[in-house]
Structure 1
Amino acid sequence: MRLITRSDFDGLACAVLLNEVEQIDSIEFVHPKDLQDGKIKIGANDILTNLPYVQGVGLWFDHHSSEIVRNRDTVTYRGRFEIAPSAARVVYRYYAESGRGEKLQRYENLLGSVDKSDSAQLSMNDVTKPGGWMLLSYVMDPRTGLAYHHGYSISNRELMSKMIDLISKHPDDPDAVLADPDVKERIDRYFEQQEAFTQLMRERSTVEKNVIITDLRGISEMPAGNRFLIYTMFPQANVQVRVFDGRKGEFIVCAVGHSIFNRTSRTDVGELMTKYGGGGHRGAGTCQLPNAHAETRVREIVEQIKKDG
């Protein structure tokens, strides 16, 4: 079967698990919007994980609350959907309850970290002084921005494929995975750029009521950095709205997230993002906006979040 998953730590963990229990012939890492726009043909020989439902898929696993809104009508599928800390946890439960989960038990420690990372149940030290699986989660997260920099020995897609074997060999030893040369060169860049990233966040962010608005449009060379650092810099706010240029400048991306340290926001981000063609969880989500209407729609989003409080 062909596995199609998201290019992040949770999507990677899904690939590791499914590679143990299914006959996986090929793996593709994709953006959810490409599926929503019908750019990728999906059929009965495909497995979708951590991505929106597409009719006709062979197996589907997901945990995003926006899928409840998007699929209010009954959909028929094999697999599992539930609100859970991670999509990898959904995969694990499905096979455990069907009697095929024995091979997956050795990944319990990894799954705990994936749950913690994807649900953003993090401590201040997890953000400012990461290590182990948590550091790997930031390195593999496309929102960190490491993939946009060049000079690596192998491409990001090649690294994602390599990581499946690395994690399978070292399910209880994240330090062994972090020591791999292709991983380490990205870790080094991550820490080298932290100061520049923090400075840029301060320069490009303003606060309106409970909302941090970070406008990164027009920046061609974005330093890599941890997306959660912003909440340590503006502890009085409970939501960040981050705006930046999309692929080749064809659209604007609006990424919204609840503060992981000030958990008082009443906005259901995933539901709000579906109104603009995006999706996500209650606490985080994204949408892509046409350049011509981006200013108006970002303002609508900010005002709604301020109204919610």
Structure 2
Amino acid sequence: MPTNISIGYDPAPVGKYPISKILTDSDLDGVISGAILKTVYPEAQILQGEATGMEQGIYTSLVDKDTVIADLKYIDGCGLYFDHHESNKPDSENFPGRWMNLNSAAEVCYQYYRECFDLTKFAPYIDDIGKFDMALFSLDEFLNPNMILKLGQVIDRNDFAFNIALIEEIVNGSVESAFNLPSVAGKIDNFFAQRELIFKHISENSYIKDSFAFVDVSGYSGTEKISGPLLTSQFPDVDGVVAFKKRGKEANSVKVRFYGNSFNPNRRDIDFLSIAKELSKRAGGHRGACGFLLDESQTKDQVIADFLKIVNK
């Protein structure tokens, strides 16, 4: 990824723009971005969203000039905007806030506000948040995770209340105190207790073709999060994984996700985002991790066939 790209403008002196709502993604990066922004704007209400909901316009009515958006798609008319996703880069540089090609939206927020606010509690974790968001860790680091990588595996788009409580504890306490909350510790313990069962489910619902693993976990009945690295860790020799996942609690709503395999040092250099955009106009994410919501006119088999046709051109 090229370095030192930063676009956007300051609508007011840093930290002085009036903000009453903070809307972020509901993953680790979104939670930490939310905690940074809540530190800057302590009276603001925290709202959680997710990429598919942004594409569907679910949150548009919530956004106004007093809203800051981070780690999600830009909505015209918001007060401030911070992100790092390639697919979310605004078409014009004339927007309030910053888009930067860093490893996390949290780092974008941190860099923007660090000179004007005390964000030292976040400094030790910015690198690991980026490593998790961009899957830049080793297989051993993933299977034997530190505190941040553990948090990343249990923060879940299906539990906004949990994420908001986590943000509040980080703001009022620290990342460490949030990690040690009984609700967080219990969720982490449960996840790792169930991990072998998750691996078994992945194995029983997958196959490999043309150096790609195709995995259908849309029928998984557990509540644990099945992340991209969790999937790629089970196929360390493939170039990437195509996964079908259930979207939240909507039984008939399926997400398609493409993951480049960062655990394979000999993987082909593939722009999965370009492929995803050929298959769906609503695709978003990064070059190495992206996806879209399965359209009613699409079948899983057709997506797989089209994917292989494009990638093997």
SS at match of 1:191: helix
Residue type of the alignment partner of 1:287: F
CA distance in 1, matches of 2:295, 2:253: 5
Q: How does 1:63-142 map to 2 (within 5 A)?
A: 63-68=84-89, 71=90, 73-74=91-92, 76-96=94-114, 99-100=115-116, 102-142=117-157
Q: How does 1:155-174 map to 2 (within 5 A)?
A: 156-171=159-174, 174=176
User: Following TM superposition, by how much is the alpha carbon of 1:24 offset from its aligned partner in structure 2, in angstroms?
Assistant: 4.0
Of 9, 28, 42 in structure 2, the residue corresponding to residue 9 of structure 1 is: 28
Residue type of the alignment partner of 1:193: Q
Indicate conservation of the 8 Å contact 1:196/1:223, yes or no. no
User: Following TM superposition, by how much is the alpha carbon of 1:75 offset from its aligned partner in structure 2, in angstroms?
Assistant: 5.4
Residue type of the alignment partner of 1:304: I
Of 70, 75, 82 in structure 2, the residue corresponding to residue 54 of structure 1 is: 75
Residues 260-291 of structure 1: per-residue CA shift (max 9 Å, x gap): 11153332223333341120011101100223
Instruction: Structure 2: give runs of 5+ residues left out of the alignment.
Output: 1-19
Indicate conservation of the 8 Å contact 1:201/1:230, yes or no. yes
Matched, 1:299 2:300: no
CA distance in 1, matches of 2:230, 2:27: 18
CA distance in 2, matches of 1:303, 1:26: 46
Q: Provide the TM-score with structure 1 as the length reference.
A: 0.85
Matched, 1:26 2:32: no
Q: How does 1:210-221 map to 2 (within 5 A)?
A: 210-221=211-222
CA distance in 2, matches of 1:252, 1:225: 14
CA distance in 1, matches of 2:246, 2:151: 26
Indicate conservation of the 8 Å contact 1:29/1:157, yes or no. yes
Residue type of the alignment partner of 1:284: A
Instruction: Structure 1: give runs of 5+ residues left out of the alignment.
Output: 148-155
In structure 2, what is the equivalent of residue 38 of structure 1?
Answer: 57
SS at match of 1:282: coil
Q: Do the aligned partners of residues 84 and 224 (structure 1) sit closer, same or farther apart at CA in structure 2, a change above 3 Å counting? A: closer
Identity across the alignment (%): 23
CA distance in 2, matches of 1:80, 1:24: 22
CA-atom RMSD in angstroms: 2.2
In structure 2, what is the equivalent of residue 150 of structure 1?
Answer: none
Matched, 1:191 2:187: no
Indicate conservation of the 8 Å contact 2:38/2:44, yes or no. no
Of 245, 253, 256 in structure 2, the residue corresponding to residue 254 of structure 1 is: 256
CA distance in 2, matches of 1:20, 1:288: 33
Indicate conservation of the 8 Å contact 1:63/1:83, yes or no. yes
